[in-house]
Structure 1
Amino acid sequence: MTDLEPRPVEGVVPHDPNAVLSPAALDRLDRSVPDNTKTAYRRQARDFIAWCEERGRDTLPASAQTLADYVSHLCDQDKAPSTIEQAIATIRVAHREAGHDGQPDTRAALRILKTHKRDRAEVGKRKRQSAPVTLDPLRKMIDATDPATLTGQRDRVLLVIGFAMMARRSELAALHISDLTFTDDGITVLIRKSKTDQGADGAEVNIPHGVHPDTDPIRVARAWLASLAERGTTEGPLLRRINRWGQLQPGGMSGWSINERVKHLAKAAGLPNADAFTAHGIRAGGPTEAAKAGQPVAFIADHGRWSKTSPQVMEYIRTVDKWRDNPMRGIGL
């Protein structure tokens, strides 16, 4: 439910019993939307409401002119196109859930957004992408950790397991100790739910042994689990919170804290353009290196839980192919 939706009045019984949802149904509907999505939608809704109130415009239903003018306002603030697209989606969802099907008319708003994208391109602004954490920066970030400390061991698991399973930060944050099963071939990681797993069927990712001790997923994971067990922790979140004194804390890391940790490690490693590295770079590094090694696209997509026709995974592959299959290579320049 967004802040644009009308709220029911307590004590008033709807005239139509067919329009009533049970508390259990309402709860499941609410939980069907990820928390970070709900937070983003609420923020977008609040901003739109405030803008409309300042100008005496209606929020529900909003006219096509109101939406177009609001989008233009966001363009004036030089908001990223993705942020503006999210704002439009938020307003459309609020209208649909309030019963205003087909409203608002987004055609003018989308044309303004298209102009905004072109204007940004003309001044050299492009979609910001997280730098992939490929093997070289991964090893430098590993070298920046101290394996003799809890924090260092935890960070190594974050980096190596995240890289090897091509993990989203939300997937890493959701991992529990019991989700790791060690076999003769390596580790099988159970992902209970993920962004693209709409049916919550779960998925298993097989991670083989590595060849370097510091980046061998099995060795790194076993060292971390042994340290946790020594402190009486054998269940619960895999990636644990650790305070500034290196002491284990209750609860696991959030997706946000994982992202901040990757940024910190990139800076600690002295990586060039360190600000470009985020948790998404961990996910992007695996397919990039796999493509360099000549692994089939279908294998990469399956391992990273992408659709085999995903434009995202193909973007990683094309980046590698542009260098490997460059028409200027070997022509004698």
Structure 2
Amino acid sequence: MSGQLAVTDVVDAELVHDETAGAPVAVHTDRDRHLSPETVAAIEESAAASTRRAYSTDRELFAAWCAKEGRVPVPASGETMAEWVRHLTVIPRPRTGKPAGPSTIERAMSAVTSWHQEQGHPKPNMRGARAVLNAYRDRLAEARDEAAQARQATAALPAQLRAMLAGVDRTTLAGRRNAALVLLGFATAARVSELVALDVSAVEEAEHGYDVTLYRKKVRKHTTNAILYGADPATCPVRALRAYLAALEAAGRTDGPLFVRVDRWDRIAPPMTRGGRTIGDPTGRMTAEAAAEVVERLAVAAGLSGDWSGHSLRRGFATAARAAGHDPLEIARAGGWVDGSRVLARYMDDVDRVRNSPLVGIGL
């Protein structure tokens, strides 16, 4: 019976004899390579919303360029990919008036190659495209162009956190929320998308302070982070979180999203509507963009220079933890970085390149 089932499973496929293996192999038909719209959507959801939006824009621009040039976008030839990348290195973008930087072009290349795979095609030959991009990197570096180096969020270290929070009015709901958001974001090394996804139920009081369980999307698992008391009450994440939870409870919230929108009257904001229809999260959950804006706004208000974003908290945690002598593996586990993360290694290199420099102790 099992043999009969195995045969009927491949009735739509053509059996071809593979002389090298000495056994017949199945040739996939169009049906075998078909994906339903629902499955395509499920695959797309595996990537972060911001990545999906960026990829969608990159693919639309690539398809439009191919149409203008009379080229086939999918499956694309290696020559098409090389010409397109060269185009990206010379055409000014409307927002900046300058061509895209190397990291932006890298992302666009990934958007197009993954588009091929999603449609059942092999990745196009990228050798020429890579050569064009490498030459572009060299030109930017030789010209001392700031685009030669990938932009990195400025690290929010404890000293910067103190400056950012010095002007926050912690007698208000908004002030308590912002202090808790910044300090918990730092203490957990959370991405802002992970931070705003937290519910009140994910926070448990413990003898050491709190245990906070986050879902780390990049590694697809939950991590429980121990939030400890800080030596400085101004930057203590436990005190800040406790004060914010008390303010939430006073406002009638004991469950649902941890970080919520607060209106100008210092109340939990009502659901947003447009044309009589509710838009956004009806529970008032903050968006990742709104959380990142809190970090940027506080840094600017404190007069701090640099490139501030929600990622500043995550980078600051990695840098400060490494400077304090913590093991890279423990830092990675605490922050939900994938094993061998090059991004994390770059953050820690800010510390290690000085502490581990071959110039140390050689007698100069």
After TM superposition, the score normalised by the length of structure 1 is 0.86
Tell me which amino acid in the other structure corresponds to 2:203: L
Structure 1 residues 313 and 98 mapped into 2: Cα distance closer, same or farther (>3 Å)?
closer
Per the alignment, do residues 265 and 286 of structure 1 end up closer, same or farther by CA in structure 2, a change over 3 Å counting? same
Cα distance in 2 between the residues matched to 1:179 and 1:283? 19
Q: Which structure has the larger Rg over C-alpha atoms?
A: 2
C-alpha deviations, 1:97-143, integer Å up to 9, x for none?
Answer: 223224x2211111101111111111222221111000111110011
Amino acid at match of 2:191: R
| Residue matched to 1:321 | 352
Distance 2:115 2:359 in 1: 51
Distance 1:144 1:117 in 2: 42
Aligned to 1:186: 209
2:344 matches 1:302: no
Matched, 1:92 2:113: yes
Whether the 8 Å contact between 2:33 and 2:120 is mirrored in structure 1 is no
CA distance in 2, matches of 1:143, 1:270: 12
| Structure number with higher relative contact order (C-alpha < 8 Å, ≥ 6 residues apart) | 1
8 Å contact 2:193–2:288 — kept in the other structure? yes
Q: Secondary structure at the match of 1:312?
A: helix
Partners in 1 of 2:349 and 2:230 — Cα distance? 26
- Pairwise mapping of residues 40-119 of structure 1 onto structure 2 (< 5 A)? 40-76=54-90, 77=92, 78-102=99-123, 104-119=124-139
User: Of 287, 304, 308, which residue of structure 1 is paired with 2:318?
Assistant: 287
Q: How far, CA to CA, are the matches of 1:91 and 1:230 in structure 2?
A: 50
- Percent of aligned pairs with the same residue? 36
Rate the CA distance shift 1:288–1:58 in 2: closer, same or farther, 3 A: same
After alignment, is 58-67 or 281-290 more displaced?
Answer: 58-67
C-alpha deviations, 1:286-320, integer Å up to 9, x for none? 12111221122222121112245322222222211
The answer (yes or no) to whether the contact 2:337–2:344 under 8 Å persists in 1 is: yes
Q: Which residue number corresponds to residue 163 of structure 1?
A: 186
Q: Distance in 2 between matches of 1:19 and 1:239?
A: 43
Tell me the equivalent position of 2:46.
32
Cα gap change, 1:303 to 1:330, in 2 (>3 Å): same
Question: Offset at 1:16?
Answer: 6.7
Tell me, yes or no, if the aligned pair for 2:292 and 2:310 is still in contact at 8 Å.
Answer: yes
Which residue is equivalent to 1:212?
232
Q: Deviations over 1:1-53 (max 9, x none)?
A: xxxxxxxxxxxxxx976556567645533433332222111111111112122
Q: Which whole-Å CA distance do the structure 2 matches of 1:55 and 1:17 have between them?
A: 32
What's the RMSD between the two structures over aligned residues?
2.3
Structure 2: any 5+ residue segments left out of the alignment?
A: 1-28, 93-98, 270-282
Sort the Cα spacing of 1:209 and 1:111 in 2 relative to 1 into closer, same or farther, 3 A.
same
Change over 3 Å in CA distance of 1:57–1:234 after alignment to 2: same
Specify the SS of the correspondent of 1:190. Answer: strand
Residue 24 of structure 2 aligns with which residue?
none
Change (3 A) 1:255 1:117: same
| Residue segments in structure 1 that go unaligned for 5+ positions in a row | 1-14
Q: Within 2, Cα distance between the matches of 1:52 and 1:71?
A: 12
Residue matched to 1:130: 153
1:170 and 1:194 in contact (8 A); partners too: no
In the alignment, the residues of structure 2 paired with residue 18 and residue 307 of structure 1 have an alpha-carbon distance, to the nearest angstrom, of 33
What is the TM-score normalised by the length of structure 2?
A: 0.79
Distance in 1, matches of 2:139 and 2:117, equals: 31
Letter in 1 for 2:110: A
Q: Are 2:164 and 1:141 equivalent residues in the alignment?
A: yes
Amino acid of the structure 2 residue aligned with 1:269 = A
CA distance in 1, matches of 2:34, 2:342: 41
Counterpart AA for 1:36: S
Q: Is the 8 A contact 1:213 1:219 kept in 2?
A: yes
Greater displacement, 16-25 / 256-265: 16-25
Structure-2 residue corresponding to 1:233: 253
1:264 to 297, 300, 303: 297
SS of equivalent residue, structure 2 residue 284: strand
Is the alpha carbon distance of 1:21 and 1:282 closer, same or farther for their aligned partners in structure 2, counting shifts above 3 Å? same
Per-residue deviation at 1:321?
A: 2.4
CA distance in 1, matches of 2:81, 2:41: 31
